[in-house]
Amino acid sequence: MDYDVVVIGAGAAGLICARTLGRAGLTTLVLEASARAGGRMRDVADPRARGAIELGAEFVHGRPAITYDLLAEFGATVVDDADGSFTLRDGALEPAGRDAFAETAALLRGAFDRADESVEALLRRSDRGAPSETTAWARRLVGGFDAADPARASARAIAEEWAGDAAAGGAQSRPLGGYAPLVAHLVRTLDPARVHVRYETVATRVAREANGVTVDARARGADVRIRARRAIVTVPIGVLQAAPGAHGAIAFEPPLPAHVADAIAAIAMGPVVKVVARFREPVWESLGDGAWRDGAFFSGDEAFPTVWTQLPVRADFLVAWAGGPAAARFAGASGDACIAAALGAIGRYFGDASAIEDAFEVAYVHDWQRDPFARGAYSYVLVGGERARAVLARPVDGALAFAGEAAAEGGEGGTVAGALQSGLRAAHDAVAALAR
Ligand SMILES: Cc1cc2nc3c(=O)[nH]c(=O)nc-3n(C[C@H](O)[C@H](O)[C@H](O)COP(=O)(O)OP(=O)(O)OC[C@H]3O[C@@H](n4cnc5c(N)ncnc54)[C@H](O)[C@@H]3O)c2cc1C
């Protein structure tokens, strides 16, 4: 055996998993397809920005203990979001005035009273033929927050997520300085004697054998073969679903047991288009006679249904966000087209397109849907797939286990906290099994 464990993927799940394995005395090799660690935690180095520009994860949802403990290890400051919310109505921003999160959560609780159905079916029943503003908000929030298509998403699974600690509308914060310091901390605290990370190494095949696994990979044009006692696969669900032979796709031999293959098929990757636009100065704070200077979140029927600031930190950039069906409308669009649409929307939110254009300096976007090692932003559960995350969270057998946000339980699916929870769990399972 070359190693005790091969971990595939160096995102939140893979890094915390490898760190825990190393500390337990197990030799571990991490294979990472890209040239960097962090996966969907990904920032942009913009020295002129006042704050961390995040192309992927930005918030901590709820008060997840593992995430908070990890941030505390290196003394990170965590800042709660400000709550000023505004809605764009008839071309003008007004204070949101209603708690759309609480109303949506109340509607979703209806999912626990009956057999699983789609979020859309649940909302239609609640509308009884007359679409209300509440269900319109619910559709927008399930798309925006869960990156989910309401017509396909499991009402029960979404309701469970909305009832948990990471609930939409609940406590939400950001690590000051972004998630990059957390990634650096995880990499720094890998035991160098036991844990090795190979970047630009794309796993292509995992073969389970009598006493372990053989993992094949391609590293800068060369074939690599590693033997280990166990493989822990932390790649996104979209990568697990990629067609055989597609860039990043992993072949499993023998084929995965039916219940595991079914679980993978019962989870979807939700799309997100997140544009971060930096301005010469935070011009929106003085528009409208300063009426929304303390606004944190802005929503409306726009191509980007949500725009947010970094409040309480006064930064010089805005985030324009489209998730779920709103993001799917950008399928195939170039980065420049997404940026142009985001600036147009920001101009309409703040009622002064030319002031926004004049102050605009630069914008950033990453195409998560076309990134072969992500294939979307984060996962949601399809109708009937309520048990899928729990199935993925259990080891397949002695030689193979999955981890990552899609395999997170307790309503944390889709988040960094869920990825950390799941990576830690997979490491503990491996330590228990391999130490025997
Ligand atoms: C735009 C956006 C916004 C988000 N906002 C938030 C937020 O505010 N708060 C929050 O909690 N979460 C957010 N998320 C979700 C969060 O980023 C993820 O849930 C979390 O980072 C996933 O961690 P992971 O380890 O499961 O997967 P990943 O971070 O995707 O790590 C998997 C790794 O596997 C690698 N890989 C893929 N294929 C292969 C292969 N064949 N061989 C080797 N390596 C491979 C990838 O390169 C990647 O590094 C957001 C995500 C996106 C995209």
| pLDDT tens for each residue of 15-73 | 999 999 999 999 999 999 999 999 999 999 999 999 999 999 999 999 999 999 999 99
Confidence of residue 170 (pLDDT cuts 50, 70, 90): confident
Which residue puts its alpha carbon closest to atom 12 of ligand 1?
Answer: 415
Token duo for residue 252: 């499993």
What is the 3 state secondary structure string of the chain? CCEEEEEECCCHHHHHHHHHHHHCCCCEEEECCCCCCCCCCCEECCCCCCCCEECCCCCEECCCHHHHHHHHHCCCCEEECCCCEEEEECCEEEECCCCHHHHHHHHHHHHHHCCCCEHHHHHHHHHCCCCCHHHHHHHHHHHHHHCCCCCCEEHHHHHHHHHCCCCCCCCEEEECCCCHHHHHHHHHCCCCCCEEEECCEEEEEEEEECCEEEEEEEECCEEEEEEEEEEEECCCHHHHCCCCCCCCCCEEECCCCHHHHHHHHCEEEECEEEEEEEECCCHHHCHHHHCCCCCCEEECCCCCCEEECCCCCCCCEEEEEEECHHHHCCCCCCHHHHHHHHHHHHHHHCCCHHHHHHHEEEEEECCCCCCCCCCCCEEEEECCCCCHHHHHHCCCECCEEECCHHHCCCCCCCCHHHHHHHHHHHHHHHHHHHCC
Confidence of residue 398 (pLDDT cuts 50, 70, 90): very high
CA of 261 to the centre of ligand 1 (A): 21
Which residue puts its alpha carbon closest to atom 34 of ligand 1?
Answer: 9
Q: Print burial letters for 225-244: b (CB count within 10 Å at least 16), e (below 16).
A: ebebbbbbbbbbbbbbbbee
The neighbour count for residue 27, using CB atoms within 10 Å, is: 18
Which residue puts its alpha carbon closest to atom 33 of ligand 1?
Answer: 9
CA of 88 to the centre of ligand 1 (A): 32
Distance in angstroms between the alpha carbons of the first and the last residue of the chain: 17
The minimum-distance atom of ligand 1 relative to the CA of 15 is 25
CA atoms 45, 66, 79, 369: torsion sign? positive
pLDDT digits (tens, 9 = 90+) for 323-380: 999 999 999 999 999 999 999 999 999 999 999 999 999 999 999 999 999 999 999 9
- Full-model pTM: 0.97
For residue 131, is pLDDT > 80?
Answer: no
For residue 166, is pLDDT > 90?
Answer: no
CA distance to 32, 148, 150, 213, 434, per residue, from 143 (Å)? 30, 5, 7, 39, 41
Whether 249 is in the pocket of ligand 1, judged by its Cβ within 6 Å, is: no
Instruction: Determine the angle formed by the axes of helices 100-108 and 155-163, rounding to 10 degrees.
Output: 130
Residue entry with tokens 């006493």: 211
pLDDT at 13: 99
Whether 202 is in the pocket of ligand 1, judged by its Cβ within 6 Å, is: yes
Which residue puts its alpha carbon closest to atom 27 of ligand 1?
Answer: 11
| Nearest in space to 244 (alpha carbons), one of 230, 255, 231 | 255
pLDDT at 130: 74
For residue 169, is pLDDT > 90?
Answer: no
Which residue puts its alpha carbon closest to atom 10 of ligand 1?
Answer: 415
CA of 112 to the centre of ligand 1 (A): 29
CA of 297 to the centre of ligand 1 (A): 24
CA of 417 to the centre of ligand 1 (A): 11
pLDDT digits (tens, 9 = 90+) for 180-191: 999 999 999 999
pLDDT at 232: 99
Ligand 1 pocket test target in 235, 276, 421, 422 with most atoms within 8 Å of CB: 235
pLDDT digits (tens, 9 = 90+) for 188-223: 999 999 999 999 999 999 999 989 999 999 999 999
Average pLDDT value over all residues in the chain = 96
| Nearest in space to 183 (alpha carbons), one of 61, 37, 315 | 37
For residue 1, is pLDDT > 90?
Answer: no
pLDDT at 98: 81
The minimum-distance atom of ligand 1 relative to the CA of 34 is 47
Residue entry with tokens 């979020």: 119
For residue 436, is pLDDT > 90?
Answer: no
Residues forming a β-bridge with 400: 231, 397
CA of 15 to the centre of ligand 1 (A): 12
pLDDT at 165: 83
CA of 234 to the centre of ligand 1 (A): 9
On the 0-12 / 13-18 / 19+ scale of CB atoms within 10 A, 76 is middle
| Full set of structural domains in the chain with CATH | 3-40+181-268+381-434 (3.50.50.60)
Region 155-171: what's the mean pLDDT? 88
CA of 352 to the centre of ligand 1 (A): 36
Confidence of residue 249 (pLDDT cuts 50, 70, 90): very high
For residue 229, is pLDDT > 90?
Answer: yes
